[in-house]
Amino acid sequence: MNNGINEFINMHGEKKYAEIVILEYNFDKIFHYCIPQDLKDRISLGSRVTIPFRGKVTTGCVVGFLAESDVKNLKDIRQITDRKPILTPQVIRLTKWISNYYLCSWEKILNYAIPKTRRAWLNKFDITDISPQKPPRLPEDDKSSDNEIIFSAEEVKEKTLLKDIENIINNKKFKTVLIRGNDFSSRMKIYLRCIRKTLKEGRQAIVLAPTESHLSELAGLLEKEFKDNMVVFDEKIDQKAKYQKWIKIRNSQVNIALGMRSSIFVPFDRLGLIIVEREHSSLYKEERSPRYNAREVALKRAELENIPLILSSETPSVESYWNVHENNFLEEELNTGEERENLLKKTIIDMTQEKSKKKIISYELQQAISRSLKNKRQVVLFLNKRGFSSFMICSQCGHIPKCPDCNTSLSYHLDIQKRAQLICHNCGKRAKVTDVCAKCGSKEIRPLGMGTQKLESEIKKMFTRAEIRRLDRDSLIKDDDYRQILEEFNQGNTDILIGTQMVLKGVDFNNVDLIGIISADTLLNLPDYRSGEKTFQLLSEVISSFREISFPKEVIIQTFNPEDHCIVALREQDYNYFYQKEIELRKELDYPPFTHIIKIVILGEEKEAVKQRAEYLISYLEFLRKDKESAEFKLLGAVDMVLWKSRNDFKVQFLVKVKDLEKFNQAFKKKYDKMLSKHFDQKNRLTIDVDPVRMI
Ligand SMILES: [Zn+2]
Ligand SMILES: [Zn+2]
């Protein structure tokens, strides 16, 4: 695959001209420069160079070579900045792909991938031409363990799985393995084996983790064995340290890189393996430009470098599991701990059966909390707060008004005159708020949405003598407070901890015997086609907080929709059931992975200006529709355009649903630059998000 990058020219013809992306200006354009004779041997793809540009000297990155150029009066490249190129040819190709796929400029993604460099650092830790370090001698324990007598079926399974994966690593070909396993330490065992194998072959490995806490957990385990052979890119790393680590990588002084999403760009020459831990995590998606998803980029990098990729998760993303079913990925299941399941009770409470409709806590949950307190155990009450817009729900039958076209819940909004209305966040459809349930005719239909504060006051009234703390973003002013609340809880001084996703970080669940999920519905009904998937993943993670189970523990899930497939799958811990139901829905409604979604947002301070630009964009898209070279697509949100007020800005959002993304993007990019510079600026901003993770 050439990808439009002319790197092979030096094998066949003369390296006369370089194609350069200018790093200090935001153009989505490639410029041609002459390569002076004395630089010819040293210049390569990924080299940073200084070049004259519009009367100034600036920095660019070499992305291709040409034997001929039709541009007249080309200027010379002045200098090469780094002794060894800061990026490898493969990473250059990868960034080119990202720029096309995610509709962002090549300059943007190059600047994102390359660590910021000060001139003063260049000589200090420049890349030397030292010969690559020999792969270290590795313990042979993986050999000896093959001769062990095998006892349990679980171990047999683990062995076959390891053999499978090792074969894939031996083949040194592009292949994706999806490991589905609920036990981190078993997954870790596989990672270690695979990394050892890769290093033994003289190749290198990238390991990605979604969050800082997962990263430090992985780092701790990997450092035991590979301390001098690895670099870790944690959240707090500064640009200088990052640059130093890149130099180590370029010098082949280390062979393993561990980091969060942006570490997918590290410039290993002999990359042999990529591991993506918790591949389903939405944090692999960069929410600012360039809005790439590191899991997808890892997949592309593995393909470009022709190497194996390991994705792993307890609750794989629907996209990845769909790829297993399409035979693109190989699935390996690694579930352990039946004993654990026997000690863990999962109870679903049907809130429509509760007598008092206004209470947040069901009778059963109240009883369970009392029992825990009596047994001197601790309780965690989990409430999702992410859905900032609420929705209507019938407390008699659990019915929730949904958009007939998009199947996502209609959001409950008060307009400027405080009149309530229901709006679909996907397509803009509006509906009147009714006071009668369309399904059962009951009048018990009202907006649902509650905060941790309200929950805290209700719990305090119920359990007057218990020590109760709240852990959410609102209740915390300083990091110190956060640490103090955690410490108090982990020392056993707190009886009941109320919190949002934050409880998943740093809370010690050893003495906890009850987790109460207050309202699965607030998650299930986010205006997002992924709400079911997100609910299943998040609540599975909440349940998995019980790592070691040596005494009976219980999870209680309160919901108005106990028959929802996500809730049923949670109760049964049945991923396959969840996936089958979910993929049917996606197919029926033409959602990913059957299509791609592009989220287009326009933001600006003036209502009219935003509206005007939105109309312009719609006409641009309608013009594209007539372009024979473009792909067929659906445009949602344009007919009934909704202008939202978000903080100080007005906001318009459209969704494009398209099957052939590549074709669509090519057509879209043709006049995109012109449109962007003519109609959008700092005041009226346009953002484009391909395969968005958040729908609003
Ligand atoms: Zn809709
Ligand atoms: Zn009803």
669 CB-contact burial (10 Å; exposed 0-12 / middle 13-18 / buried 19+): middle
Q: Where are the domains of the chain?
A: 9-114, 151-336, 339-385+451-587, 596-690
The structure tokens listed for 129 are 């031409």
Residue 11 scores a pLDDT above 60: no
What tens digit of pLDDT does each residue of 569-589 get? 999 889 999 999 999 999 998
**pTM greater than 0.95 (yes/no):** no
Residue 58 is encoded by which pair of tokens? 């600036």
Spatial separation of the C-alpha atoms in residues 498 and 379, rounded to whole Å: 9
Closest by CA position to 346, among listed 576, 561, 500, 552: 552
The structure tokens 């960034």 sit at 95
Q: Please write the tens of the pLDDT for every residue from 354-367.
A: 877 677 899 999 99
Question: Can you tell me the distance from the alpha carbon of 243 to that of 117, in angstroms, rounded to the nearest whole number?
Answer: 7
d(CA 274, CA 299): 9
- 279 C-alpha vs ligand 1 centroid, how far in Å? 29
Q: How far is the CA of 397 from the centre of ligand 2 (A)?
A: 4
3-state SS of 82-114 is CCCCCCCHHHHHHHHHHHHHCCCCHHHHHHHHC
The candidate with the shortest Cα–Cα distance to 280, out of 649, 582, 642, is 582
Contacting residues for 126 by C-beta, under 8 A, at least 6 apart: 82, 83, 247
Q: How far is the CA of 640 from the centre of ligand 1 (A)?
A: 10
CA 445 to ligand 2 center in whole angstroms: 7
Cα 386 to averaged position of ligand 1 atoms, centre (Å)? 20
* Whether domain 596-690 has CATH 3.30.70.260: yes
Average of pLDDT values for 52-81? 93
Residue range 105-133: mean pLDDT, rounded = 74
What are the DSSP calls for 502-534, one per residue? GGGTT---TTEEEEEE--HHHHHTSSSTTHHHH
**Closest ligand to residue 527's CA:** 1
Per-residue pLDDT averaged across 654-669, rounded?
Answer: 94
Cα of 597 vs centre of ligand 2, distance in Å, is 32
Say what the pLDDT of residue 123 is.
Answer: 64
pLDDT at 17 over 80: yes
The alpha carbon of 288 and the centre of ligand 1 are apart by a number of angstroms equal to 26
Counting ligands in written order, which one lies closest to the CA of residue 642?
1
Q: For the segment 481-493, what is each residue's pLDDT rounded down to a tens digit? A: 888 999 999 999 9
At residue 684, the 3 state secondary structure works out as strand
**Cis amide leading into 401 (omega within 30):** no
Closest-CA residue to 195 (of 264, 257, 263, 267) = 257
Q: Tell me the C-alpha to C-alpha distance, in Å, between residue 198 and each of 90, 168, 202.
A: 19, 11, 7
Ligand 2 ion: nearby residues, β-carbon < 5 Å: 394, 396-397, 399, 437, 439-440, 442
Q: Are 501 and 384 contacting, i.e. CB atoms less than 8 angstroms apart?
A: yes
Distance CA 658, CA 665 (A): 10
pLDDT at 342 over 70: yes
Can you name the residues that pair with 310 across neighbouring β-strands?
A: 177, 275
CATH number of the domain located at residue range(s) 9-114 in this protein: 3.40.1440.60
Rounded to the nearest angstrom, the gap between the alpha carbon of residue 346 and the centroid of all alpha carbons in its chain is 28
Q: What is the whole-number distance in angstroms between the Cα of residue 558 and the centre of ligand 2?
A: 17
Establish whether the linkage from the previous residue to 593 is cis, with ω within 30° of 0.
yes
Lowest mean pLDDT among 243-247, 284-288, 450-454, 606-610: 450-454
State pLDDT tens for residues 230-286: 999 998 889 889 999 999 999 889 999 999 999 999 999 999 999 999 999 999 999
pLDDT band at 154 (very low <50, low <70, confident <90, very high): low
Per CATH, 151-336 and 339-385+451-587 having the same topology is answered yes
Give the DSSP letter string of 335-355. Answer: ---HHHHHHEEEEEEEGGG-S
CA of residue 529 to ligand 1 center, whole Å: 10
What average pLDDT does the chain have? 87
Q: Which ligand is nearest to the CA of 441?
A: 2
* Cα of 476 vs its chain's centroid, Å: 26
**239 CA from centroid of ligand 2 (Å):** 56
Q: Specify the CATH superfamily of domain 151-336.
A: P-loop containing nucleotide triphosphate hydrolases (3.40.50.300)
Tens of pLDDT, residues 203-216: 999 999 999 989 99
> 581: burial class by Cβ within 10 Å (0-12, 13-18, 19+)?
middle
- pLDDT of 387 higher than 60: no
Q: At 124, is the pLDDT very low, low, confident or very high (cuts 50, 70, 90)?
A: low
- For residues 308 and 173, the answer to whether their CB atoms sit within 8 Å is yes
Specify the pLDDT at position 422: 86
**Residue 645 parent element (H or E):** strand 643-646
pLDDT at 193 over 50: yes
Kindly indicate whether the domain formed by 339-385+451-587 is annotated with CATH number 3.40.50.970.
Answer: no
What is the H or E stretch that residue 449 is in? none
Q: Residue 394: nearest ligand to its CA?
A: 2
